[in-house]
Structure 1
Amino acid sequence: MGGIGKTTLAQFVYNDEEVKSSFEPRAWTCVSEDFDAIRVTKAILKSLSHGSNDDNDLNLLQIKLSEALKGKKFLVILDDLWNENYNDWRILLAPFKAGAPGSVVIITTRNRGVSNITGTTQAYQLDLLSNDAAVSIFTQHAFGVEDFSSHAHLKDIGLEIVRKCKGLPLAVKTLGGLLRSEKNRDKWEEVLKSEIWDIPEKKSGIVPALMLSYYHLPSHLKRCFAYCSILPKDYEFEKKHVVLLWMAEGLIQQGKEEKEMEILGEEYFLDLLARSFFQQSNNNKSRFVMHDLINDLAKSVAGNTCFRMEDRVEGSKQGSIFKKARHMSYLGSYCDGFKKFEAFSELTCLRTFLPLMLPFPGDCHLTSYVSRELLPKLRCLRVLSLKGYFITKISNSIGDIMHLRYLDLSRTCITSLPESTTTLYNLQTLLLEQCLQLKKLPSTFGNLVNLRHLNILGTISLKAMPPHIGKLTCLRTLSDFIVGKDCCSGLKELGSLSHLRGTLCISKLENVIEPEDARGMNLSGKPNLDGLSLGWSEDIDDSKDRTSEKEFLNLLQPHKVLKELTIRCYGGTDFPTWLNCPSLPNLVFLTIENCKKCTSLPPLGKLPSLRVLSIAGMASMKSMGPEVCGDGSSQPFRSLETLNFKNMVEWENWSPCEAFSNLRELSIKNCPKLSGNIPNHLPSLENVEIDGCCRNLVVSVASFPDRCKIKFGGSEGVVCGRSEVDFSSLNLMHLSTISEFESQMKVLITMGGLANVQKLMVYGLKELTHLWSNAVGSFPHLPSLRYLQVSDCPKLVSLVAKGQLPPTLKELRIRDCKNIQILVEEDDTANSCGNSGDNTRSHDLQDLSISDCPSLKSLISSGELPTTLQTLEIDSCPELESIAKELHHNSLLKSLSIFECRNLKSLPTGIHSLSHLSDIQIWNCPSLDFLPDGELLPANLTRLRVDSCEKMQAVVNRSIHTCTSLQVLRMTKCPRALVCFPEEGFPTNLTSLSIYDSSIAQGLFEWGLHRIASLRVLRICDGTSHLVSFQEMNLPTSLTDLHIFDFPNLEYLSPEGFRNLTSLEYLCISNCEKLASLPKKGLPPSLRKLDIRDCKKLTSFPTNCLPPSLLVLRIEGCPDLGEWCKKERGREGSTIARIPKVFLASTT
């Protein structure tokens, strides 16, 4: 059941402080009805703060997710899961297995069957609210209290309304919000007696209480809410964005009170939020979402006027698109082609054209049909967005859309706007954010007298503002003002823009000629500005006289309400006098960057609201003392939580006033001359990072609070106090290029100094030969270590001399240690595997990764790997001779990867017995013969990739047919491994097959690949075949990707065989020198990407060869074909002209 509180309960768990401290990392993602493993995996990665991911390869995404979760105790919440397909669930769940024990995945679902499919513990079935609980929630939303005691006259009606909600929390909450501002008994009775209660939910599909909540909304809120039906389910939206859309559509009407539209729109939004039509996003508190049931309600009340195209209706004809539609949105994709829009040519009354959620903003491609043929017909548009598309030019015809009020071209590749843009006199919002190639705005830009919002943030190629910007007196938002030269708008133009609000960034201030121009700006008369950035260019000649900048900056005093200030590349020697408490009592964020001639800081400690202070690039400052705190100031820096110093190359001395009682984060980077002490009394400190600092800097680590996270790196040396310094409270530590630690390492371990450290990273210790030896014993003082990384330690011979690895260690990574010969040199009593019955030591090592260790010859002296090992990866260890004696006891091993190990001759015995081993990858191991004599591949292997292993024996012929679980097989440049085609054929569960060898290609054709009904990807490379055509080739209809490489005698393709591949989406043909034509009957109608390279005899495509579904065409190394395509691309209406992404290159 929807609206019963599943998501709300999960949010309480997710945001609980105890849960936060118990799970790291945490991720939340909404799955929804349209299950897509790629989309969900991307969303989880994004929630884990791993940024956006451009990959659409599920395997690569899952590898990234597995790496992000490996060895960590994580919490992942999958909200609103509907899919009951067990295989989909198994695929999605695969990366989670890399996590530490105790990790949790929480699922919310309306479908009881989902819990059975997922194989979880017993599902928790949420009940409807009890009457008392429902009443409490209702009164909380209606009156702000927990009962009717303060509104007794409404109690009887209220109890009846609650009863009609039938215990559904969303209904109770929404109706409570509806009546929040109504204390009139008649209004409550109207709600109670409404006929809407009697409409069966099955008939309307909407919960009556929710429909009733909408019915009693004020008319202006009804219109705004209905418009929001164009927003997809689970879409996270910003308040400002929605308000600007409402404004553009004329849904916000100014009344007699003459409030600004933006303020009215914000009030509308907050009213809908208070009534529970919107709710705050769990992932981002600045964004909002609509509950699925509320979204259904919006769609219901909007009727046919609003339409969400969404990807699944691609190719629909006019009959499925409402002719009455006025507002249209769709989910953008990497390439949006002609078929997606062909049915819209008759919707000439469309007012909203809004793509949303493009996967790769700035690198998504749109068919030219939209700009050349469709948009000129949509003369009624009020809202037009082409945000995120790879568009280099806007047609001059855009000026014909005279009613346009909202134009978003952000993250496009345009270099200029056509002059006709300035005839859009009704335009209110123009968004050009991150248009990196935009060089100029139209010279008549001042004609846009109704423009209220101009965002040019990140337009790094824009050199100046156009003339007469001061005429735009309606402007509320101006993200940037670039001071130009000659006839461009000067600073005085800002004086007339009295309504500016938000943040204003003024750059290229070196172009100011008269300092007095600052007075004309009237910054102190702009009380709605809460953010200000003042910047000069970085490349100004140091010999230039910049003394006038001090006078100029003094005249730039902002209003005292300012909350955020940035000063960059200022050339004066002193900061302005207004940078103190009386002038800026509300300042919260302050950044001073690359002010190279300033020798000191102003008394910033007097700023009572300052929370974040960042100082960087003050190249002339040598000392910072109590004057920064403000002499005689009581409680200096009383609000400061974050303090950052960076690139202070001459800074030598810091005499801090011990006044940072609330400081939580301290970062000092690249301050090579800084010595002395950093502040000792930091009771609230949570994170500290020291990087690139001097040997004489004293960091009193012993004074840091419990659980403070510390990172030391990139320094010649840092003195951490006494040798017996206590690190016992730490749970994270990074040590790098710090010579003091090389002498203290043994002391730190033996004295229990690292007792709570869970993650230890050691790099750049130039003299280190061993991390520890048998003197440390059995590691009683490293009881918590889970992760160890050692890199760039050139003299390291082994990790352990006569001893063992810490028993709690789960993940070990060794990188770039040129002299290491063995990881662990055990003593006579040690046993790294713990195989012997009298060995009491346990080991938990699960992941071992070694790379770029050219002297490494073996891993562990006993020749036995830990029995707990799950992943083993070895890369670029050319002297490695042995991995282990045998693997019979490594039954938990799941993945084995060996790259660039030229001396390795054989893998250990026992591989065939490893029931969990699912992934084997071996590249460029020319001496390796792979399996010992008589051994077969493990039965549960799902992926096998072997490249460039010249001596490898005929493994495919001997045992490939026994791997019934094998899904991915790639064999490249292994002439002995593929002596002939295996008689039994390949496993029929293969989904991807890549064969780059002529000795087996003919066998593939004779055997008939149609037997592999699950095959989706086929890559074949021949090199010597006499095959002339694929006419007799029987390919499985399940294929989605087909790659044909190096068939020197191939002349033509089968006209029928390819048309039968109804699932084929990607076709790549490369280096087929004699290929002269493609099928005249056309390529498969499902084809989305066609890639042709080095087929020089191809000169053109036959008529109707290219299907309308084609989204990407790449032609490379085909000169004649490339020229033909170039001509066709310029012909309006041609198939190639309508392909969103076309790449033409004459040579490779």
Structure 2
Amino acid sequence: MAESFLLEVAGSLLRKLGSYAYEEASRAYGVYDNLQGIKSTLSIVKGVLLDAEQKKDQNHGLLAWLRQIQSICSDAEDVLEGFEFQSKRQQVVKASGSTKMKVGFLLSSSNPVIFRLRMAHQIKDIRDRLDKVAADGAKFGLERIHVDHKLGVQRREMTYSHVNASNVIGREKDREEIIQLLMQTHHDGGHDRDKGVCVIPIVGIGGLGKTTLAKLVFNDLRIDELFQLKMWVCVSDNFDIRQIIIKIINSASASSSAPTIALTNQESINSLDIEQLLSRLRHKLSGQKFLLVLDDIWNDDRAKWIELTDLIKVGAVESKIIVTTRSNSIASMMGTVPVHVLEGLSLEDCFSLFVKWAFKEGEEEKYPELMEIGKEIVKKCRGVPLAVRTLGNFLFSNYDSDKWKFVRDHQIWNLEQKKDDILPALKLSYDEMPSYLRHCFASFSLYPKDFTFTSEEIVSLWVALGLVQSCDGSQKLEKTAKEYINELHSRSFLEDMEDFGHFYLFKVHDLVHDLALYVAKEEFLVVDSHTQAIPEQVRHISVVENNSLGHVVFPNSRSVRTILFPVEGVGLSSESLLDTWISRYRYLRLLNLSDSTFRALPDSIGKLEHLRLLDLSNNCKIKNLPHTVCKLQNLQVLSLRGCKNLETLPQGFGKLISLRQLYITTKQSFLSESEFANLSNLQILCFEYCCNLKILFTRVQLVSLEALFVHSCWSLQSLPLYILPQLVALSVVDCKMLNVSLLSNDRPILRMNFLHLEDLPELEELPAWIHGAADTLQTLIIRNLELQIPPPFRVLPHLKRFHVANCPTLAILSFDMNDLAALEDLSIDGCPELCRIYQPRSGQFWSVIAHIKSVTIGEPTSEEERKSWLST
């Protein structure tokens, strides 16, 4: 499936070739004509890629042709990045003012004359290869297909309203909740007609049973008593107003007419113009109290939705609409009541459903061994009924225990799938995904199931691999990447999302993970104890088991872009293997060696000119870094977090001028301010377990720094805020010598929107400088503090999230309803008195916070426990 990403890769390459910066560089180095030739040919090839993608499964020659283009595009990306690296190397040499460095630069392969000749040769080679492949492609007879954001979308079958309720398991509670909403009065009279029809959205991932739930409600006898008219419309393909109106009229006719009459009406209205159709629609709906189900909505164009609702307002005031969709944002746009988020079935219900599909009635009693295996199989389905049905149907009337064990032990995407099974159902959502999200989504396959992602981690990966494109060219890539996360969440691909303001935590549903594996299976590979060899076309490698590297044959191909160790406790111990990787994979973008145990990073690391992310976190054996690290002018992220034996940062690390994120653990007492002064692009800076560090900075202005994290720096005494004019996030944890109240002697105007204070023994009240962030602070987290004075909510009118934990001396939160106008998320735990007085429904101050969208209050303690806690 690697070719699925080729369209976006080609598009990204064309954007680079068309940019002013590359045009100027190509003229300066005398390669303008060849680059324009590449651009012209690639534009033609890109036009037929969609046709080739759709036909490749029937033609192995096409598959090989696509792989050749993939290889050429990859090589072109590497060559073009040479311009960027040369510019950055010249910038560092010029800024150094060092004669020795200038001489070294002229004697190196970066010498302008040598670089010009090398680039000219490489670019001509790429043009020749691309021209040849483009000519070869002509024999396939490919056609240019208009390319929008969708690739080869496979639509689901049109749905219908009939359901056998006896076959549906575990949706009784959901049905009752929807019916209760339908029975509620949402208007007080005719004067409310302009507010529109009540719309109840049902949202969830593919296969969860949204349509089935809508059917259960639609066919409930109570609905016939509530509504004069019921209509079922499957929208699915395209939100075409004319076609939806025709479907509504047909459904209304079928609901109120004999079948023969309804069919005649259906045949006659297809030829009507839009005015005639609207007249028919008004005739059918006018004055009627109706229920309309719009099943399988993909439209995110609000204007179209408003247009449709305006047309059907002619019904009675108490009319209702149920919509089903996979998108949270669409559900929010359409709904007039809170979204009904459909959850997975319980394990017990899943097993009952599985037995119904895997056995003939009563037959399961003969096969107790298969029943036990079946209990393990349904766990793979994570509550998704279509997955349960798929696997049960796959095993129906097959009593071979080996086949059952195969299903239990293998990924769902390894099994044969029919068009109505779970993987095709989920792939619909993937097919609907904008092309820029597809490569990002596939990267989830590099991580194990049930992995807890942080937004920083996945954003860094996407940016390092060049998968993020700023919409207008000015927005920071990290912000765009977070928008990608929000969009994936909106499309129900992510779950358990926790928003902490500055960062997110989230997971990927197991079945969605299976989909990621399916779409990424040629380009992304997870290495475990079962892996013997890595295919040549693999570009991104993830190692998840410590004992998996001894027998694995790594490819000689230079196409590898990612090596990742995502699992805690799993890392690299072999320095010789690391040296092999560095020498073989010269075009690596991401090298994550976290939790490794090698003692030294090879000097050859400096040859990875394209490297953007280097993660050495939690390597407790490494003591020094080679100075060649400072040659990595493209490096954006460097993590030394948890490297507790690291003596010092390498001299010259200020040459890492592209650095955006820096995570440090070091034994140093002082840092070189002159080195940090050169890191003009630094956005995130983290100090963790820097036990000897006393002072961070005194003079240097970190003008681009947006987030500062200082954790477990027990000797730290000074942290002046005035050197951080752009700071938006601050986290200070377990710094015993640091008095955060003295971080600034005045009250500066801060842009801070995130503040986290924890384990600061001297802090009895929140610092006065917090007033300087009154207009921006949105997230406040305080934990393990001996606060005596309540937080100053009256100066924090924009606060959205407040989390307080283990602050036993805090007895009251001084706010009223007006202070909490913006608060959406309140969490209190480990605070005996606070938990008592704000306890839901029973606490004396519950009424003050009851309106907040999300409130979590810990269990109150007894008076004896409270006194004991306060005395410790």
Which category of TM-score, normalised to the shorter sequence, fits these structures?
0.3 to 0.5
Q: Which structure's residues are more often strand, by fraction?
A: 1
Name the structure, 1 or 2, with higher relative contact order (CA <8 Å, separation 6+): 2
Q: Which structure's residues are more often helix, by fraction?
A: 2
